Structure 1
């Protein structure tokens, strides 16, 4: 494994899920190289002049350190100058991970960073069309050590939808569930994700986030009858809540197209997200995310009644929204 220290990762792209996964992988690589490394997290807009320099300075408590800086597009001019100065001659015992949310904002800083030898860019662009989603599913499967044919990937996209988090969870479930030597094809995909193709995780999530509890529970029960994986529902709700959180905390003056670039959602979905966001605030979103995290642990841990865990999650999300 290459030494991660003395380097700067630059993670760019319009997919929150892919960028977050690239960040986790980078942190895992850092911890594997130096388990004692201190990892500091910061949001670009919150950094005052001098703070980035302090974060990357030598520590009295560890010989190695890492800094994760998110929302790079919001970095102030003075701190951007500090970052460029550091990236031109990074410390040998520090690793820096920079995450840019996509879009044109901050492009000047990106261009300057890309010219520096110590900077390695990881571009994470979300698939745009169905054929791209199919190719992405096949690549995801290969990365997990199994191959899926084009028909099987197409069936999976049709059954699960375009949410990458849900698709990744579906591929992971298929790969870990299949017996060794069993082919991953359309027949297998239909076995696990067939039934009511219209019952998708994101539709359940949309109903729950809009406060339509009866509809969300009805769709969840349809999904259970159709053997839709509970993990897909928890993943869809988690993704929807994260997008809502970005809308709730965004500048209300942002145009739909600009906000779409900021949060990595399709432009057509922004109006629906703005409508849903009216029923939420930061506190209620935090409570709802806690409920989804609990259900996700129960589902992944082999809960005896995963269907009950999903229904309780939907109810808890509705309760959180009603208290906003």
Structure 2
């Protein structure tokens, strides 16, 4: 990765994309502390904004222009960005974030074809465990810290569903410990993986995979997981979804408004696919009822949890609730 007049950051993995853009900014700022950084939203772009930001300033400071949401680009931004590529401004670095899809393909093809002297940084989703192990290894190597192979595998097993959570776990271990990271260290911090398992159950149910979520729940409970953190994990996910569902604007703008990280907004948007406002409302009601049931209002907390999984997996419709037997 290197600075260039135009940098295309493409791919669906938000964690890697955010890091790439942050590293570009830090690299440029190390070269010249007077770097001016500006942000644009391609989807809500107003004609002339790019030209205004790229115009030479009074003191000729270098400029970095970050453009988010190019996969939702307006026609105005697409037209002006293509024109800009034909004659990029001096001492200006245009960074375009495209999270996937066909919208804006003409602009991507132009950059990939060499117009404007641009480069592409591909941030594809890490799907294989081997890639996630490499990611963990790189996290600790960058900090010049030692971690055993067993500890790496334990971390990947605990946080295989979400790269952002895996990255956060690595950073927590780096911040809280001084010695070599071993399996015992991971066990100390994430032993039993109750919280991790809870989020795995919640993520699977939110995605509509009822049978798989029910299996994960029963396995977690059989392993000694407490029902209270289970409901808390569901509540945390649904609460974020509800906030993002009612917000308007680009990812960075919404994140700033709601006090969330950009990756949390992107994850909530993915989770919201197939959901309605009414469905979210019914799940929130079910969460309150389930919380009361497991804290003493009911006699069967396991059934209450299984019923919640059914309601969430049906996106607010109680059509998959398990039947009580015996």
Measured against the shorter chain, the TM-score band is 0.5 to 0.7
Q: CA 1:278–1:154 in 2, change beyond 3 Å: closer, same or farther?
A: same
Counterpart of 1:46 in 2: which secondary structure?
coil
Give the corresponding residue for 2:104. Answer: 106
Distance 2:48 2:279 in 1: 35
Q: CA 1:275–1:130 in 2, change beyond 3 Å: closer, same or farther?
A: farther
Matching of residues 166-177 of structure 1 within 5 Å: 166-177=165-176
Matching of residues 48-67 of structure 1 within 5 Å: 48-60=46-58, 62-67=60-65
Structure 1, residues 104-140: CA drift from partner, whole Å, max 9, x if none?
Answer: 3322321111122621211111212444333322232
Distance 2:104 2:63 in 1: 26
Counterpart of 1:41 in 2: which secondary structure?
strand
Give the corresponding residue for 1:198. Answer: 194
Give the alignment's TM-score, normalised by structure 2. 0.61
Counterpart of 1:45 in 2: which secondary structure?
coil
**Among 172, 184, 188, which residue is 2:185 paired with?**
188
CA apart distance, 1:70: 0.4
Larger radius of gyration: 2
The question of 1:25 aligning with 2:11 is answered no
Q: Where do 5+ consecutive residues of structure 2 fail to align?
A: 207-225, 250-264, 282-326
Distance 1:51 1:14 in 2: 26
Q: CA 1:242–1:275 in 2, change beyond 3 Å: closer, same or farther?
A: closer
Q: CA 1:172–1:242 in 2, change beyond 3 Å: closer, same or farther?
A: farther
Preserved CA contact (<8 Å) 1:8 1:95: yes
Moved more, 69-78 or 143-152: 143-152
Give the corresponding residue for 2:7. Answer: 9
Counterpart of 1:198 in 2: which secondary structure?
helix
Distance 1:217 1:60 in 2: 61
Counterpart of 1:102 in 2: which secondary structure?
coil
Counterpart of 2:195 in 1: which secondary structure?
coil
**Among 218, 222, 233, which residue is 2:228 paired with?**
218
Give the alignment's TM-score, normalised by structure 1. 0.61
